[in-house]
Amino acid sequence: MINKTVKDAEEATADIKSNAVLMLGGFGLCGIPENSIKALLKKDISGLTCISNNAGVDDFGIGLMLQKKMVKKMISSYVGENAEFERQLLSGELEVELIPQGTLAERTRAGGAGIPAFFTPAGVGTEVAEGKEMREFDGKLYILESWLKADFSLVKAWKGDTAGNLIYKGTARNFNPMMAAAGAITIAEVEELVPAGELDPNQIHTPGIYVQRIFQGKDYEKRIEKRTVRE
């Protein structure tokens, strides 16, 4: 079996350079590639385009990359929890493309699956549809949306093996599987890295073919945005 293992996040992200297009998995702070983001923060790079459902919070996740002014453009569906983001957006330092969440998920899936474009009803009659091709199917209007791909996809899984196969936990799966497939180089970090053969092939979510590099993550903070408990 092909061994995809690299030593750590620094080695995995060593060739990510300025102006790269990145995809980063996660929904809110759930399932984000914490180790890879920390490694990027140590690098002297800028002008990144980041495709991610959200933009982290001020002091965690992509929010830290914004603080360091590493990001030129965000492509996201919701960016509401980040004051530095707002400041950079209003001052014109940061470019933002907002995409309906399902369209973002499907454009990413399409990128990994070799589908250049597809029609979706999301956004018909709204500013999202402006300038886009429309077509009617069975009496309803749809918008043509194109695939998204990345130079590097940074994903996070619960368990992985040396062949790059991944298993996610809970709602930390979210955008990670589609992003894994849509990256020219996909870097997976996992909470538990095991030898090939130890994961049950029936239970694997992301086949290792999509993963170029995998490493054992460390010091996971797994921060909770809104801790809500039963009274």
Rule CB under 8 A: is residue 7 a binding residue for other proteins? no
Residue span 136-175 as binding mask against other proteins, x where in contact by CB under 8 A, dash where not: ----------------------x---------xxxxxxxx
Mark 182-219 as b/e (b = at least 16 C-beta within 10 Å).
bbebbbbbbbebeebeebeeeebbbebebbbbbbbbee
| Contact call for residues 149 and 184 (beta carbons, < 8 A) | yes
Phi/psi for 36 (5° steps) reads -65, -40
DSSP-assigned beta bridge partners for residue 183: 150
Q: Quick check: 98 binds other proteins (CB under 8 A)?
A: yes
Question: Site residues for other proteins, window 41-60 (CB under 8 A)?
Answer: 53
Contact range with other proteins by CB under 8 A, out of 59-67, 79-87, 146-154, 209-217: 79-87
Of 4, 24, 15, the residue nearest 179 (C-alpha):
24
- Give the neighbor-by-neighbor strand order of the sheet with 117-120: 117-120, 140-146, 134-137
Identity of the residue, 17 or 87, whose beta carbon is nearer to other proteins in the bound complex: 87
- Residue 135 as a binder of other proteins (CB under 8 A): the answer is no
Q: Is 21 helix (H, G, I), strand (E, B) or coil?
A: strand
Distance CA 215, CA 181 (A): 17
- Looking at the DSSP assignment, which residues form a beta bridge with residue 161? 194
Positions 173 through 212 that interact with other proteins (CB under 8 A): 173-178, 205
Q: Is 227 in the site for other proteins (CB under 8 A)?
A: yes
Rule CB under 8 A: say whether 27 interacts with other proteins.
Answer: yes
Per rule CB under 8 A, is residue 106 in the interface with other proteins?
yes
* Torsion sign (Cα): 92, 106, 161, 31: positive
Report in angstroms how near the CB of residue 163 gets to other proteins at its nearest.
Answer: 20
Report the alpha-carbon distance of residue 38 to residue 61 in Å, rounded: 8
Pseudo-torsion of CA 186, 148, 32, 196, nearest 10°? -30
Contact 154, 130 (CB under 8 A): no
Q: Which is nearer to other proteins, 42 or 222 (CB)?
A: 222
| Residue 78 within binding range of other proteins, rule CB under 8 A | yes
Q: How far is the CB of 25 from other proteins (least distance, A)?
A: 10
Q: Binder to other proteins among 9, 28, 148, 188 (CB under 8 A)?
A: 28
Among 92, 116, 125, 201, indicate the residue that binds other proteins (CB under 8 A). 125
Q: How many chain residues interact with other proteins (CB under 8 A)?
A: 55
Tell me the C-alpha distance between 194 and 216, whole Å.
9
Smallest gap from residue 84 Cβ to other proteins (A): 12
Using CB under 8 A, list all residues that contact other proteins: 27-31, 53, 76-80, 86, 89-90, 98, 100-106, 108-109, 120-128, 158, 168-178, 205, 222-230
